[in-house]
Chains A and B, each alone.
Chain A
Amino acid sequence: MLWVPQIQPLGSPSAQSRQGAQPKLGPCLAHTSPQLAADPQGPLGWGPGPVAFCREPWGRGRALGRCPHPHSSGPCSSCLRLDVSPPSPTWLTRYEEATNELINEELGIAYPIIDGIPNMVPEAARRTNKKPPAEGSEQP
């Protein structure tokens, strides 16, 4: 019995709005950390990507990693994110909800996500229509 996770996208920032976009933290209101909202770059400076940590200040009594939401069985959908930390050749993939892919805009490729696991084998990468920025534009 395979359980397909509910993928909660953190909005779909376009290239222009990526700089200033605040990622949506999804429906996990109990877990919304004001610190994460204030610091969308994330702890390791990964940028506003599809990373969202389920961080609640857990007391010492809590077991490691257990979802504190009361539910009988199975994972809590609000605790579930597409927990894909920067798995991109340039550490900047964003999750595209429409096509369910991880898109790397700098290289112009998209990796499909199947069953919540991104398929980042080179053969699976699809060239997106957007061309990567030209070399000349980067020079001062």
Chain B
Amino acid sequence: MAAVRLCRCRCRALLSRSAGALRARRGLAAGPEMHFGFQTVTEEERREKIYQVFENVAKKYDVMNDSMTLGIHRVWKDIFVHKMNPCPGTLLLDVAGGTGDIAFRFINYVHSVRQRQLQRKLKHHQNLSWQEIFESYQKDKFNSLGDSQVVVCDINREMLKVGKQKAQHLGYSEGLSWVLGNAEELPFDDDKFDVYTIAFGIRNVTRIDLALQEAYRVLKPGGRFLCLEFSHVSNPLLSRLYDLYSFQVIPVLGEVIAGDWKSYQYLVESIRQFPPQEELKAMIEDAGFFKVDYENLNFGIVAIHSGFKLHNENTSC
């Protein structure tokens, strides 16, 4: 029975690879027809449905992440922020960052870098004159984040609420902002952010090309685009095991833990519908990014795509 079900899923996936569906799969304007998991819906419906999905799962989102990925998602996100390697003073825009995982890791990372900076400074600056000691009490020397800021933007209010509660619970007060916004039409000015991240969110954006264009717009020249997303496994044996786990175990977990089979069925199907690594790389390059590259984690289950905005085309070089 499991084999039949897998077969059916495979057939549907194969069918969807027709030319028209290919455009829809890429999140480009394919007329009104788009995919929602393995179903075909209009653009409007898709937005609605995805909003519903995340509204339903918001409260149990973190618990489900831990149980579905057996806690490995934490490692992925840690690697992601390590790859970003932010220095104090960085302005980060975390899109689709609902519950704030990346934002909190960013703050922790920047804080520890800042602590090391301050310690090094202190070591070399032991013999202070009275004037310097006096000044150190005047200025706000213990700027623990070094003026780094992260703006968490998400289209779903429930996810942001959960994120905000988590921030209060964990004690993050400084350097965080929560904004409800659409990744396809960001309410930010051009050339503002040092880093733009979207972790496990770009799959749910209806028009990926618009989101990438917006990312390009709001980044400063020299800014970095980083995307963490489920991707395609090329190893055939692993791919079968992964499919088995995805379609048999995850929706069941969803039903047991979150009481929502359909949302997790959508989640798993949307991973299959998402463009593979090379295709996403091409889309990022189309948006204007340079030095686009990707790194597979866990044989392609997850991939980190990175690109740089080097200059503004409008200004003359």
Chain B residues whose CB sits within 8 angstroms of the CB of A3 once the complex forms? 165, 168
Would A121 and B173 count as touching, CB distance under 8 A? no
Say yes or no: A88-B147 contact (C-beta < 8 A), given A57-B140, A57-B142, A120-B181: no
Would B151 and A87 count as touching, CB distance under 8 A? yes
- Contact partner of A83 (CB less than 8 A), chosen from B141, B160, B176, B182, is B176
A83 CB to closest chain B CB (Å) equals 6
Chain B residues whose CB sits within 8 angstroms of the CB of A29 once the complex forms? none
Secondary structure at chain A's binding surface: helix, strand, loop or mixed?
Answer: loop
Chain A residues whose CB sits within 8 angstroms of the CB of B181 once the complex forms? 87, 120-121
Is A18 part of the binding interface, using a Cβ–Cβ cutoff of 8 Å? no
Say yes or no: A64-B144 contact (C-beta < 8 A), given A54-B173, A89-B187: yes
Say yes or no: A2-B161 contact (C-beta < 8 A), given A44-B147, A87-B177, A118-B180: yes
- Contact partner of A119 (CB less than 8 A), chosen from B107, B180, B185, is B180
Interface hits, A22-66 → B, CB 8 Å: 33-35, 43-44, 53-55, 57-60, 63-66
Q: Mark B145-186, 1 if CB is under 8 A from A, else 0.
A: 001010100010100110011001011111111111110010
Interface hits, B271-311 → A, CB 8 Å: none
B interface, size bucket:
35 or more
Is A67 part of the binding interface, using a Cβ–Cβ cutoff of 8 Å? yes
Would B157 and A58 count as touching, CB distance under 8 A? no
Is B91 part of the binding interface, using a Cβ–Cβ cutoff of 8 Å? yes
Would A87 and B176 count as touching, CB distance under 8 A? no
Is A110 part of the binding interface, using a Cβ–Cβ cutoff of 8 Å? no
Would B155 and A121 count as touching, CB distance under 8 A? yes
B104 CB to closest chain A CB (Å) equals 10
Is B143 part of the binding interface, using a Cβ–Cβ cutoff of 8 Å? yes
Would B187 and A111 count as touching, CB distance under 8 A? yes
Is B245 part of the binding interface, using a Cβ–Cβ cutoff of 8 Å? no
Chain B residues whose CB sits within 8 angstroms of the CB of A124 once the complex forms? 180
- When C-beta atoms are compared, the residue in chain B nearest to A59 turns out to be B142
- When C-beta atoms are compared, the residue in chain A nearest to B169 turns out to be A75
Chain A residues whose CB sits within 8 angstroms of the CB of B179 once the complex forms? 84, 87, 117-118, 120
Would A89 and B189 count as touching, CB distance under 8 A? yes
- Contact partner of A117 (CB less than 8 A), chosen from B91, B139, B168, B180, is B180
Is A128 part of the binding interface, using a Cβ–Cβ cutoff of 8 Å? no
Is B192 part of the binding interface, using a Cβ–Cβ cutoff of 8 Å? yes
Is A103 part of the binding interface, using a Cβ–Cβ cutoff of 8 Å? no
Interface hits, B238-285 → A, CB 8 Å: none
Would B140 and A91 count as touching, CB distance under 8 A? no
Q: Mark B121-150, 1 if CB is under 8 A from A, else 0.
A: 000000000000000001111111001010
Is A140 part of the binding interface, using a Cβ–Cβ cutoff of 8 Å? no
Chain B residues whose CB sits within 8 angstroms of the CB of A74 once the complex forms? 168
B89 CB to closest chain A CB (Å) equals 9
Would A75 and B147 count as touching, CB distance under 8 A? no
Would B182 and A55 count as touching, CB distance under 8 A? no
Q: Mark A60-101, 1 if CB is under 8 A from B, else 0.
A: 100111110000001100010001111111110000000000
Say yes or no: A114-B157 contact (C-beta < 8 A), given A67-B171, A120-B180: yes
Would A67 and B180 count as touching, CB distance under 8 A? no
Which residue among B115, B139, B149, B176 has the maximum number of chain A CB atoms within 10 Å of its CB? Answer: B149
- When C-beta atoms are compared, the residue in chain B nearest to A53 turns out to be B174
A118 CB to closest chain B CB (Å) equals 6
A90 CB to closest chain B CB (Å) equals 5
Say yes or no: A122-B141 contact (C-beta < 8 A), given A64-B111, A65-B107, A85-B149: no
Would A54 and B174 count as touching, CB distance under 8 A? yes
- When C-beta atoms are compared, the residue in chain A nearest to B186 turns out to be A120
Is A116 part of the binding interface, using a Cβ–Cβ cutoff of 8 Å? yes
CB<8 Å pairs between A and B, sample of 5:
A75-B168, A83-B178, A90-B189, A115-B157, A121-B180
Other than A85-B177, A117-B164, A119-B180, give 11 A-B pairs with Cβ distance below 8 A: A53-B175, A54-B173, A57-B140, A57-B142, A83-B178, A86-B192, A87-B187, A88-B188, A89-B187, A114-B157, A122-B185
